[in-house]
Chains A and B, each alone.
Chain A
Amino acid sequence: MGVLRTRRFQAGDEGALNDGFLEFLRRRSPGATRSLEHMRFVWLGGPGGAVESWLVEEQGPDGSWRVVGHHGLCPLRFTLGSANLLCAKTINTFLLPEIRSRFLYVRFEQQCLEDACSRYDVIYTCGPGTSRLRKPLGYAAGDVWVHFEHGSRYLDFTTRAFSRLMQTCPSRPSTAIARGWARACARTVRKPPFEFVEYTPEQAAGSVFFEEFWEQARGEAGMSPRRDIADLAWRFWTRPGVRFVTLVHSWAGGARAYAIVNTANPYQYQLADFFVTPMRADLLDALLDSLFAWCARRGALTMSVWTTATGQPPPLMDVLTRRMGAPPLKRFRRRSEFSYRVSPRTAGLPIPRWNTTEFLLV
């Protein structure tokens, strides 16, 4: 067992940190992968600034050091009404299991927080077990994440079952069955309330639609990541190795909506982010109608979305609950939590409601 040390991340540590994090991930998910390009993009390219990282290292017999633990804070620009805030999300926090009896991780994270908290308005964290771990560090248990899933078109349960089959047994027969079912569903799509304008990432980043969007929408969004072009581009449109489709619609009278969909799995689409302004239930209802039709026509079997239990205003949550059910076997999964810590510089900040989608997960 080698000596342990802690230090701040420096330029050039990317490879060692990525290797250490992947070693941790692969003990649970052997196929887990993340390119160095992707890691660098997240660490260095965010409009809120570079990720702040602290490393735990162990010295090997040959005197070299390897990363065995890490705490990171990813800066994200938020708005709360007219106020601009700089928040941070914990990122890639881990400690290899064999080190846990030799190193007081919570004390380490406490020291990282003391170092960084004056630079942020709010620090938040997501994941199973996070609220228990971080309560002594001043995090308040905020909420739990909820997962909604819609089976495209009729016989929702059957469609979701096919989708699940594709996920667990991606064999040729199951693919053929799922594809046939998807084609049958696509033929029965009813006329949606409206047709989207569809943008590629490049078109979205240069579109007039998003130029003033957030300045108009932020007033009613609650505590929300900025949805301006710089933030959306970093979070979705220019991220290496992921492909998102951006769908937008403008109603007569000025109401507007967008949806950003991860189409990496052709049968299981993920609604990574959406926003309707004004935040009215009838507009979200129409957005979902058109979105489900769009999915079905493209052959997707399911559309899922993550938010927290209070991550949308109650009328919008009612629409999500009514139009999209919980995925099968949800009760057997560990609940993913959402906790946050208001820093001393913004003590007393009244946070009425967080607007949560996958945007917050980084």
Chain B
Amino acid sequence: MTPALVRPVTCAQIRAFLAELDTLIDSGTLRDDTLFTEAGADSLDFFNVLTAIEVATGVHIDDHDIERVNTPAGLAAYLNARMS
């Protein structure tokens, strides 16, 4: 079961959440400002991560906002601004 994402969402929460997903992301190299793709995520992983985040939080991530959520820190900030 994936860990809950509760406000304020932190990078540690994001990392714990990702660790439970089946992706190619190397959590050992994933720092707060590391691009998910630099940590090994391919197109499918990136899609799966954002889809799982959307399901877990109810926050829709628009295509135009992808650049803002491509690191753990960016994703946490984005969610904090939109989660009620």
Contacts and interface: CB of A to CB of B under 8 A. Distances in A.
B37 interface: yes
Interface string B34-66: 011110001110111010000000000001001
B70 A95 contact: no
Contacts of A95: 43
A106 B43 contact: yes
A101 B47 contact: no
Contacts of B66: 101-104
B67 interface: yes
Of the four ranges (under 10, 10 to 19, 20 to 34, 35 or more), the interface on chain A belongs to 10 to 19
A101 B36 contact: yes
A105 B48 CA distance: 11
Contacts of B35: 101
Nearest to B71: A101
Contact of A132 (B37, B44, B50, B63): B44
Contacts of B48: 136
A208 to B, nearest CB: 49
A155 interface: no
A107 interface: yes
Q: Is the interface of B mostly helix, strand, loop or mixed?
A: helix
A133 interface: yes
Nearest to B43: A105
Interface in A205-252: none
A100 B63 contact: no
Contacts of B67: 1, 101-102
Q: Which of B42, B48, B66, B70 has the largest count of A CB atoms less than 10 A from its CB?
A: B66
B47 A107 contact: yes
Nearest to A135: B44
A133 B43 contact: yes
Interface string A90-104: 000001010011111
B79 to A, nearest CB: 16
A132 B47 CA distance: 12
Contact of B44 (A1, A102, A136): A136
Nearest to A108: B63
Contact of B46 (A97, A101, A132): A101
23 contacts: A1-B67, A100-B42, A101-B35, A101-B36, A101-B37, A101-B38, A101-B46, A101-B67, A101-B70, A102-B66, A102-B67, A103-B63, A103-B66, A104-B47, A104-B63, A104-B66, A105-B46, A107-B47, A108-B63, A129-B42, A133-B44, A136-B47, A136-B48
Q: Which 6 A-B pairs have the closest CB atoms?
A: A106-B47, A105-B43, A101-B70, A101-B37, A101-B35, A102-B67
Given A101-B70, A103-B63, 4 more contacts: A102-B70, A104-B50, A106-B44, A133-B42
